[in-house]
Amino acid sequence: MRVIIFSIVILAFLTINIPTTAMEPTIPAPTPLPVPVQEPSRGERVLMMEATAYCYGYITKTGTSPREGRTIAVDPEVIPLDSEVYVSCESWPEIDGTYIAEDTGGVIRGHKIDLYMESEDECWAWGRRQVEVRVLGVRQ
């Protein structure tokens, strides 16, 4: 009888103190989004982006009044607000020039920009085009 009780006690002790061999599932750490890298030699980035146009609104995200030839809406995670950028378009060279990232838009995400234009007819004529955007830097 003592042997049976002793065996049960040892078995209970080993069962309680033996670590389990089952592995807990590991949750992978979230990978950070890639940060755009500036060219160290020139301090600027060149991006190919899809551009649309808008003609509504009285106050931009930065608190200024939008102006044609100056205001663009951007995704602040790609181009910081208050950045100066040079926009050029082969199919509509009249828009080539320096703009300021003053606004954001509900559908402006990723590599898209929205150019501010004075009239709705100009916006419809512009449509959706590929542009080259050179980020010159953030205004001080």
Confidence class for position 38, pLDDT limits 50, 70, 90: very low
How many distinct structural domains can be found in the chain?
A: 1
Asked if residue 94 is part of any domain, the answer here is yes
Asked whether residue 134 is assigned to any structural domain, the reply reads yes
Please report the pLDDT score of residue 53 as a whole number.
96
Please report whether residue 71 resides in a domain.
Answer: yes
| pLDDT at residue 133 is higher than 60 | yes
Q: What residues contact 130, with CB distance under 8 A and at least 6 apart? A: 48, 49, 50, 51, 89
DSSP 39-56: PTTT--EEEEEEEEEE--
d(C-alpha 139, C-alpha 80), whole Å = 10
Prediction pTM value = 0.68
In a domain? residue 37:
no
Q: Which residue has the tokens 């080993």?
A: 14
Look at residue 64 and tell me if it is in a domain: yes
What CATH code is carried by the domain that includes residue 132?
Answer: 2.40.40.10
> What domain range is 98 assigned to?
45-138
19 assigned to some structural domain: no
- Least Cα distance to 128 among 17, 35, 53, 29 occurs for 53
pLDDT of residue 66: 96
Does residue 88 fall inside a structural domain? yes
Tokens 């807990």 belong to which residue? 24
The verdict on residue 7 lying in a domain is no
Query: What are the structure tokens assigned to 6, written together?
Result: 């002793």
Q: What is the pLDDT of residues 96-131, one digit of tens each?
A: 999 999 999 889 999 999 999 999 999 999 999 999
pLDDT greater than 90 at residue 6: no
pLDDT of 74-101, one tens digit each? Answer: 999 999 999 999 999 999 999 999 999 9
Whole-number Cα distances in Å, 15 to 9, 12, 19, 139: 10, 5, 9, 68
